[in-house]
Structure 1
Amino acid sequence: MRPDSRQAGFGLVAAMFVIIIIAAVIAVMARLAVTQNATNSMAIQQARAYQAARAGLEYGIARILADATCADFTLDGFAVLMSCTSSSTPVLEEEGKTSATLFYTIEATATFATPASPDYAYRKLTAVVEKP
């Protein structure tokens, strides 16, 4: 008995198919790993930007309550831009005298890198402080 010539080379075709499928799976997994690493890095930068903006708010509140000034600063590579605006609201007291209460709106904007950079992170927080 002679082997059927139509079945010759089937093992080679099956092996090539398996090798191509495994190579494709490895390529997809490598791409997913790169994407996940970039996503994790961006999440860390965004968390750091949030903390820098929050530190800016706390600094701004302390400065407003102390001497009513507001200044920009840098914190570990983050540029924290401060904006402080005041508004006055009359308050009616029990004895018929009126007094004004000052309200300060404080905005802290923390940025890292430039907007076109892959490391760009941005957070903006706002707080309102009452100063009697």
Structure 2
Amino acid sequence: MKTAARSQRGFAVVAALFLIVALAALGGFMVTISNTAQLTSAQDIQGSRAYWASRAGLEWVVAAVNATAPVAPATTPAPTCPTTAAPAQLDGFSLVVTCTAQTYSEAGANIRIFQMTSVASPVGAAVGDVGFVERSVSASFER
């Protein structure tokens, strides 16, 4: 009977080591998931901020085009894209705003189609950086 008891000695140590390793792996996995969730949430917020910065740039160019719109269509020149630069930065985001205008003749009337794009990205961030987001908003209208 002494030999049977001797062969079972130390089993609790192996089970305890397995349990410690399994719990440590589970804890490490939980930390990784938590960090990923926090990073995803932060990028989602940055993406929303970039969208609204881009939209503000687009609204700026639309207002600038409307400011040059003629009061009496027959006697004043057609509206043009703005010649002044858009705000270069807006709340930590750099803006690139483009505007192109094409004039078409339709049924004897000159119609001008404006195509505008506004792109916002964080100042100082580059493609591939952890905090990099970019949003682009486009619009077109006729005057």
Q: Do they fold alike, i.e. is TM over 0.5?
A: yes
2 CA distance for matches of 1:23 and 1:10?
A: 20
Q: Where in structure 1 are there 5+ consecutive unaligned residues?
A: 93-97
Match of 1:47 in 2: 48
Supply the distance in 1 between the matched residues of 2:40 and 2:99 (Cα, whole angstroms): 34
Note the C-alpha offset of 1:125: 1.2
AA at the equivalent of 1:22:
L
Cα deviation code 1:39-95 (max 9, x no counterpart)? 111111111111111111111111111123152212101111110000112121xxx
TM-score (norm: length of structure 1): 0.88
Please, what is the CA RMSD of the aligned residues?
A: 1.4
Query: Structure 2: which amino acid aligns with 1:85?
Result: T
1:86 to 91, 101, 104: 101
Q: Unmatched 5+ residue regions in structure 2? A: 69-79
User: Quick check: 1:130 aligned with 2:137?
Assistant: no
* 1:1-132 paired onto structure 2 within 5 Å: 2=2, 4-67=5-68, 68=80, 69=82, 71-73=85-87, 74-92=89-107, 98-112=108-122, 113-131=125-143
Amino acid at match of 2:17: M
State the identity as a percent: 31
CA distance in 2 between counterparts of 1:11 and 1:61 reads 75
Distance in 2 separating the partners of 1:130 and 1:65: 11
The answer to which structure has the higher strand fraction is 1
Alpha-carbon contact 2:54-2:118 (below 8 Å) kept? yes
Q: CA deviation at 1:116?
A: 4.1
